[in-house]
Structure 1
Amino acid sequence: MPEDCTIKLLCDGGAGGTGGGTPAVCVPSENEGAVDDICGVFVSASGSDENDATKEAPLKTLGAALALAEKNEKRRVYACAETFEEAVEVTHGVTIYGGLDCANGWGWARDQRKTVLTARAGETPLVMRGGGAEATVRVEDVHVQARGIEPGDVALAGASSIAAVVEEVNVELARCVLEAGDAAAGAEGAAHETSAMGGAEGKSGGEACSAEIVVPGGSVKNDCGTPEDESDDSRGGSGGNGEADSGGLGNHGAPENLMNGGKGEGAAVCTDGTAGENGPEGGPGAGATGLGEISASGFTGVAGRDGTKGGTAQGGGGGGGAKGGASAGKCTDEALAGGASGGSGGAGGCGGAGGRGGGAGGASLALVSLNATLSFEEVTLKTGRGGAGGKGGAGQEGGAGGAGGPGGTKPEEATALNNACAGGAGGKGGVGGSGGGGRGGHAIGIAYKGAAPPVQGATVELGEAGPGGVGANAEGEGAAGVKAEVQAF
């Protein structure tokens, strides 16, 4: 039988060999020279995706080579020991043979050089998935290198560095390196741009000698933007009435944390309402403790909890009313002899929203395995550092209280009467509690779901896990990340 026919027969599966059932004549590590063009698809960084995918005319990108190999019954890709900057997905039982010395005849370079696969920061260079229960993806002599995240890269805050993801497929790795870089620190809890809603100013009291009983202006309310929910309302106390014989008491502001209405004029002159009590501060958020989630999209960490909302402040007390009367130096008409009425208190400010929790630090993961079957032969799994958890954000400032309304005045000729008293200012809303710190990022060789993967045939080199993010107190500190060769999720 002619030699080329023998090669065709063998490469179509007519003889045994390593590499997931690939015949030995098509396995670079079992041959002194290059394998034949008929064995599969050839790719070099110096090629062109318009080429014929042979050694003389290789494709340029691994993505194009894999797409062609998936349509080819042999499903083999032969890659030069060069650097390919792209994120690729391997399916349908394709085998990648890397580490080929393409400058010297496409023979196997042994342990001198490997094919390097990398991608942009934040991207996973190699994903292997699917193809049915019997499908096996095999990769030989490839160094998969996930880039680390540059410190201060705001766009990639909390991003992970993951070298490879394997999902529901059998995978064989031989003489490969899966290397993750340093992950990004989590974002600090975002600051609130403005303070919470402030309270309205109180209303002025009525002028003396304008009615039999001079009533004050109505109280003012701050509904804190939730008119259907009265639990967070603040009201300024209304001022006291002005009557002929006495001034009425100013009413207390609500919520009635403090008795702050002013006294009406009787034996002594009236008094102003006093300021409302400030709202209580919100509580701090808890620090993040959960492990996070892994998926085909990568890793999602756990952020710190938001702080709780600050309390609404009390409205200012209403000012006391003044007495009137009809006689010399007082009102000229007995039917209009009421004294000046008190000003109403200003509404209190709303409580500030809780500070936002710090973001989770990104994880540095050499391999994410999702219900996959793995085997290793002289494989190195290497991680960088997990990202630090983000600091919890500051709580929003409470809203300012409204000023108290001025007391009603007397006519200029009513020299024997007094002006009424002013309402008190509303209190300031309580500041929101600080957010909790985010969890530190992990440094894990194999993060998995499903059956526990083996570690035989693999060497694991780990960086450090990221520290937890800062919170307001010990309970607000995010937990540090996990450092482990293998970790179930």
Structure 2
Amino acid sequence: MTRLMSWGAVSMAASGCDYLSVGLADDCEFLRTCPHYLDGGGGSVPNPACEADPTKDASTVTDECAVFASATAEAGGDGTKAKPYASLGEAVVHAGNKRVLACASGVFAESVTIEAGIEVIGGFDCEAEWTWSEEARSAIEAPANQVALTVSEAASGAKVRSFAIRAADAQAPGASSIAVLVDGVTAELASCELIAGNGADGAEGDNAPSEAPAQASPGNAGTNACSDVDGMPGPDMTLAGGAQVVNECGGELSIGGGGGDGNVTNGTGGDIGASGALGAAGSGEPAAGDWSCAAGGTGQGGDNGAPGDAGDAASGVGALNSSGYTGSSGGAGKAGKPGQGGGGGGGAKGGAAICAGVRGAGASGGSGGPGGCGGLPGQGGGAGGASIALASVEGKVTLKDCVLKAGDGGKGGPGGDLQPGGAGGLGGTGGTGVGISKNACDGGKGGQGGPGGPGGGGLGGPSFAIAYRGEPVKQEGQTMLQPGTPGAGGPGGSNNVSENAGAEGTAAAEQKFP
């Protein structure tokens, strides 16, 4: 340990060096006589007169050796024994290399961060000349969703003694309750109570719209026999079938097959609906022989779209890092697929004299209706928050005579509900025959869109007395570890229809994280 240079040593050094300039004699930084070296302020070397343990030697319970804090003090204190800081965090910030001594009365209702390798000791009776009691504890109670005490990566060598440190029940969805977090440094906690509250339940996954997408547009109707569409004199010799109808669903297409043409001597078949296993096209009327819409001329309905995949159920133990604990959320489902378009209806033949004694084309078939759009998916449920009394992230932590109690982990959030698929479009109506010519056939109805996948349930929150990444926490003396109850995993969306509930959290006295 570096020692403060004595006045005698300074005097001897100055008198024994002929080349020492007069200017250096007034340089307090060079001689280490600036006030922040003498009173233990920031950047100072410890005062050798302050080395004794203040819990055993009252000579170090002084303004020269310590900064004082009392939760019952008036605001605006300067950290002296007579006017202690009302905030423990403020005392820690202004401690420099002094110890921080805290009164046992009242509660420090704050989140405290130690950013230097100092010693913080509670258990003093500020109404009795700051005497220390082995049984007394100073109390820290942090607001919800905050770590009660953090020992940061700049605080190697920090020591905390005689404190009851409590983290409140977490309130924000998925938030954790952590009493103490040590971030990558060597630290010692002695004669302490570390008590974590309950983790908060995970956020609910967003639901997809409850109403199905709008029904797809119907197929186009065929044209009646003997119609004059081209504007030329007399009936047309060919009447085109109803045009195909396309339903665009988020970049995916469902197409109702076009209707078959009506001609003078025959009708042509319609087109197949796209795309799927059904949706066959209706046949057109041949030049000779029997034919009817009931016997194959009507377009076949399209197949229903495939349902979207369910979101993955959350599992595992989560992750531990400098920010605390992060659990696993459930996965989002996938969108349902569009239904297949219906097949186009077959066209009919006309004749040499059906159109008021002149030749003309028969009626044309209606096009198939396009399939409905698939439903949107539910989103994954959030992870339940953790309850952790002590979290050590790549730290070297020693516990001496401490009691660690964790609360309960939060429940995983439920997955979001799915959206049903939209209805397919109706098939277009076939054109009407004239005289002895037959009616053309209708197109098939489009298939229904597949439902979206439900969101996966979130992971239940864990409960650990000690959670660590890196070295295990060293335990000495009478140290007790008491975990709570883990949170249940969140159910999958739409009443867990796909059985994709998240896993239950983990409970353990000690849990190692990768």
Q: Secondary structure at the match of 2:262?
A: coil
Q: Is the deviation greater in 446-455 or in 432-441?
A: 432-441
Correspondence for 1:229? none
Q: Are the equivalent residues in 2 in contact too, given 1:241–1:340 (CA < 8 A)?
A: yes
Asked if 1:179 is matched to 2:195, the reply is yes
Deviation at 1:128, TM superposition (A): 0.5
Correspondence for 1:224? 249
Correspondence for 2:386? 363
1:90 and 1:321 map into 2 onto residues whose CA distance is: 85
AA of the residue aligned to 1:477: A
Correspondence for 2:206? 190
Q: Secondary structure at the match of 1:64?
A: helix
Tell which structure's C-alpha radius of gyration is larger.
2
Correspondence for 2:14? none
1:339 and 1:331 map into 2 onto residues whose CA distance is: 13
Deviation at 1:291, TM superposition (A): 1.8
Structure 1 residue aligned with 2:299, among 266, 273, 285?
Answer: 273
Correspondence for 2:220? 203
Correspondence for 1:108? 132
Q: Secondary structure at the match of 1:37?
A: coil
Question: Compared with structure 1, are the counterparts of its residues 331 and 317 closer, same or farther at alpha carbon in structure 2 (3 Å cutoff)?
Answer: farther
Correspondence for 1:142? 163
Correspondence for 1:238? 258
TM-score by length of structure 1 reads 0.85
2:109 and 2:357 map into 1 onto residues whose CA distance is: 96
Question: Compared with structure 1, are the counterparts of its residues 245 and 396 closer, same or farther at alpha carbon in structure 2 (3 Å cutoff)?
Answer: same
Structure 2 residue aligned with 1:13, among 47, 71, 79?
Answer: 47
1:323 and 1:256 map into 2 onto residues whose CA distance is: 30
Deviation at 1:33, TM superposition (A): 9.3
Question: Compared with structure 1, are the counterparts of its residues 49 and 63 closer, same or farther at alpha carbon in structure 2 (3 Å cutoff)?
Answer: farther
Asked if 1:96 is matched to 2:120, the reply is yes
2:141 and 2:276 map into 1 onto residues whose CA distance is: 65
Q: Are the equivalent residues in 1 in contact too, given 2:121–2:160 (CA < 8 A)?
A: yes
AA of the residue aligned to 2:169: G
AA of the residue aligned to 2:476: Q
Structure 2 residue aligned with 1:121, among 144, 162, 170?
Answer: 144
Correspondence for 1:35? 61
AA of the residue aligned to 1:68: H
Deviation string for 1:280-307 (max 9, x for gaps)?
2233333222221111111110122333
Question: Compared with structure 1, are the counterparts of its residues 34 and 332 closer, same or farther at alpha carbon in structure 2 (3 Å cutoff)?
Answer: farther
Structure 2 residue aligned with 1:374, among 397, 408, 422?
Answer: 397
Asked if 1:302 is matched to 2:328, the reply is yes
Correspondence for 1:253? 273
Deviation at 1:91, TM superposition (A): 1.1
Question: Compared with structure 1, are the counterparts of its residues 473 and 224 closer, same or farther at alpha carbon in structure 2 (3 Å cutoff)?
Answer: closer
Structure 1 residue aligned with 2:406, among 373, 383, 388?
Answer: 383
Question: Compared with structure 1, are the counterparts of its residues 177 and 368 closer, same or farther at alpha carbon in structure 2 (3 Å cutoff)?
Answer: same
Q: Are the equivalent residues in 2 in contact too, given 1:242–1:324 (CA < 8 A)?
A: yes
Correspondence for 1:431? 451
Deviation at 1:364, TM superposition (A): 0.7
Deviation at 1:102, TM superposition (A): 2.4
Question: Compared with structure 1, are the counterparts of its residues 68 and 332 closer, same or farther at alpha carbon in structure 2 (3 Å cutoff)?
Answer: farther
Q: Secondary structure at the match of 1:66?
A: helix
Deviation string for 1:100-155 (max 9, x for gaps)?
2223333224314x2221222211111101237xx3111111111111136xxxxx
Asked if 1:454 is matched to 2:471, the reply is no
Correspondence for 1:3? none
2:59 and 2:102 map into 1 onto residues whose CA distance is: 13
Q: Are the equivalent residues in 1 in contact too, given 2:67–2:98 (CA < 8 A)?
A: no
AA of the residue aligned to 1:466: G
- How many residue pairs align between the two structures? 453
Question: Compared with structure 1, are the counterparts of its residues 262 and 96 closer, same or farther at alpha carbon in structure 2 (3 Å cutoff)?
Answer: same
The percent of aligned pairs where both chains have the same amino acid is 41
Question: Compared with structure 1, are the counterparts of its residues 333 and 142 closer, same or farther at alpha carbon in structure 2 (3 Å cutoff)?
Answer: farther
Deviation string for 1:226-252 (max 9, x for gaps)?
2xxxxx432101111111123222222
Deviation at 1:442, TM superposition (A): 0.9
Q: Secondary structure at the match of 2:61?
A: coil
TM-score by length of structure 2 reads 0.81
Q: Are the equivalent residues in 2 in contact too, given 1:77–1:94 (CA < 8 A)?
A: no
Root-mean-square deviation (CA, aligned residues, Å) is: 2.7
Correspondence for 2:76? 50
Q: Are the equivalent residues in 1 in contact too, given 2:60–2:66 (CA < 8 A)?
A: no
AA of the residue aligned to 2:349: K
AA of the residue aligned to 1:185: D
1:465 and 1:448 map into 2 onto residues whose CA distance is: 17
1:122 and 1:40 map into 2 onto residues whose CA distance is: 31
Q: Are the equivalent residues in 1 in contact too, given 2:486–2:506 (CA < 8 A)?
A: yes
Deviation at 1:333, TM superposition (A): 4.4
Q: Is the deviation greater in 116-125 or in 76-85?
A: 76-85
Q: Are the equivalent residues in 1 in contact too, given 2:88–2:102 (CA < 8 A)?
A: no
Q: Are the equivalent residues in 2 in contact too, given 1:79–1:97 (CA < 8 A)?
A: no
Q: Are the equivalent residues in 2 in contact too, given 1:286–1:475 (CA < 8 A)?
A: no
Asked if 1:398 is matched to 2:443, the reply is no
Correspondence for 1:488? 512
Correspondence for 2:20? none
Question: Compared with structure 1, are the counterparts of its residues 475 and 59 closer, same or farther at alpha carbon in structure 2 (3 Å cutoff)?
Answer: same
Q: Are the equivalent residues in 2 in contact too, given 1:358–1:393 (CA < 8 A)?
A: yes
Deviation at 1:173, TM superposition (A): 0.9
Q: Are the equivalent residues in 2 in contact too, given 1:239–1:319 (CA < 8 A)?
A: yes
Q: Are the equivalent residues in 2 in contact too, given 1:240–1:320 (CA < 8 A)?
A: yes
Q: Secondary structure at the match of 1:233?
A: strand
Deviation at 1:433, TM superposition (A): 2.7
Deviation string for 1:32-90 (max 9, x for gaps)?
69922222222223435532211222222222222211xx2325353443212211210
- Specify every segment of 5 or more residues in structure 2 that has no aligned partner in the other structure, as ranges: 1-37, 229-235
- Specify every segment of 5 or more residues in structure 1 that has no aligned partner in the other structure, as ranges: 1-6, 16-21, 151-155, 227-231
1:399 and 1:48 map into 2 onto residues whose CA distance is: 67
1:440 and 1:473 map into 2 onto residues whose CA distance is: 19
1:423 and 1:346 map into 2 onto residues whose CA distance is: 7
Deviation string for 1:395-418 (max 9, x for gaps)?
3322322222232345xxx44444
